[in-house]
Amino acid sequence: MKQHQWASVRTLGSNHTDLSYPYISLTFTAASLNPAVGETNPMSSTLDTGANVTPIQQHVTLDPDQKHDPHKTRFGNFLKATIKFGASDLLLKTGKPPVIRLRGALKQLDTDAIPFAEFVDIAKHILNEEQWGDLHRNGSVDFAYDYDEGHRFRVNLFQARGKLSVAARLITSDVKRFEDLYLPEIMAEIALQPQGIVLLAGVTGSGKSTTIASMINYINERKPVHIITIEDPIEYIFEDKKATINQREIGIDCLDFKLALRALVRENPDIVLVGEMRDAETFEAALHAAETGHLVFGTIHASSAPQTFQRIYDLFPPEEREQVRKILAYQMRAIVYQKLMPTLHENIPRIPALEILINTPACRKYILEGREGELHQVINSTEAQQAGMIDFNGSLVKLVEEEYIHTRVAMEATPNPDELQMRLKGIG
């Protein structure tokens, strides 16, 4: 029998655009909703995959005797339903039926609400003493749960107005290829850079982690290199192909980003993924790794490729920014900004609109001169577009032309509606 494993981990939440979709009907038997002690729970097995499942060994097991197995409660049913329907998230709230996020939209499961007493019992069952104490002290507790070797949940159990709620994100080993994500061919060229720094920019929930995972997997299939990822939390589970991949999770495998980045020197990586560039020390370590011959991938919150530079400079004190600018001018390989758009096609949930900036000599000149705010002029040049660059409005126009998204969606997403309107004239 497979073993389900729990591990403590700090996590970050995600927000997505909510759209209106139909109600989902999900029926559980009485036995599956209220399994008796000692009774086999029909929800405790994984979905039929046609293969035996091997438990993941890379995460800390807190309770080998499975005293805290969620499948002894209805929580296990809800986790299985999330996987079955291909949802990205599971949301539970005291007094309400469970909700899943499917194609970016919230859909309610057709099952009974979770009363206060049952929710408390679930929490007491799945948490160990340390986690239960964290919930009381901090009002929330974060942990990760390996459902099987292909599915993992990162879970936040929290209090809201004195009652319990849960937000659980499903993490899988199903890493999509560029073509499956509707990403352009230039992404392959960016992924195979020998060294330097590649940044994925965008807001929370814009698909940055999914795109980086696709790039890492592209390398994994082609190059015998050592890849180390430092993530909070792990978003996708990689299987070694040509590359050797070690995934380190903050809170489980290492204490924090700072210590994990310090240890890189002794871990002999060729490629490094830093889950999020959120402070000066993390970014400085990433720049140092790029300067010493490594290829570094990272994510940052920004609203465009050129605006990413200002976000980076704002991390550092004024007296250090010029030096950071010089390092970026020579070490930055590409910045990819993306935002997910709802599509016109039922079989395509969302599609990325992109802005891609590649560090050509013209781009480097603008950076060194402190003219990052004018980089759109570089992106829109004929030479840049031949090199694979595209600005955000150009990406929106292409998606409208190819009938992936509605004109209204493009107009709502653009930071420059007047320019987009001009470029859309004549389409259709």
Which band of pLDDT confidence, cut at 50, 70 and 90, is reported for residue 68? low
pLDDT of residue 73: 87
Lowest mean pLDDT across 168-172, 209-213, 354-358: 168-172
- Residue 273, CA distances (Å) to 116, 128, 285 in order: 41, 31, 12
Query: Are 305 and 375 spatial neighbours (Cβ–Cβ below 8 Å)?
Result: yes
Q: What's the burial of 379, exposed, middle or buried (CB within 10 Å: 0-12/13-18/19+)?
A: buried
pLDDT of residue 427: 63
pLDDT of residue 49: 32
Which band of pLDDT confidence, cut at 50, 70 and 90, is reported for residue 386? very high
pLDDT of residue 128: 86
Average pLDDT (281-296) is 94
Query: Are 243 and 227 spatial neighbours (Cβ–Cβ below 8 Å)?
Result: yes
Tens digit of each residue's pLDDT (9 = 90 or more) over 389-403? 999 999 999 999 999
The Cα–Cα gap between 278 and 230 comes to: 13
**Which residue intervals of 269-387 are DSSP H helices?**
280-291, 305-313, 321-331, 361-368, 375-379, 382-386
Which band of pLDDT confidence, cut at 50, 70 and 90, is reported for residue 249? confident
The Cα–Cα gap between 317 and 169 comes to: 36
Q: Exposure pattern of 198-223 as b/e (b: 16+ CB <10 Å)?
A: bbbbbeebbbbbbbbbbbbbbbbeee
Better pLDDT: 237 or 186: 186
Tens digit of each residue's pLDDT (9 = 90 or more) over 404-414? 999 999 999 99
Considering the chain, what is the average pLDDT of its residues?
A: 84
pLDDT of residue 393: 96
Which band of pLDDT confidence, cut at 50, 70 and 90, is reported for residue 40? very low
Average pLDDT (70-94) is 91
Rg for the chain, CA atoms, rounded: 23
With residue 342 as reference, give the H or E element that holds it: strand 332-342
Sequence-separated (6 or more) residues with CB below 8 Å from residue 176:
210, 213, 214
Reading the block at residue 131, the tokens are: 């986690």
Which band of pLDDT confidence, cut at 50, 70 and 90, is reported for residue 26? very low
pLDDT of residue 426: 65
| Ordered domains of the chain (ranges, CATH) | 5-172 (3.30.450.90), 179-390 (3.40.50.300)
Position 228 pLDDT exceeds 90: yes
Average pLDDT (129-147) is 87
CA angle, 341 as apex, 338 and 347 as ends, to 5°? 120
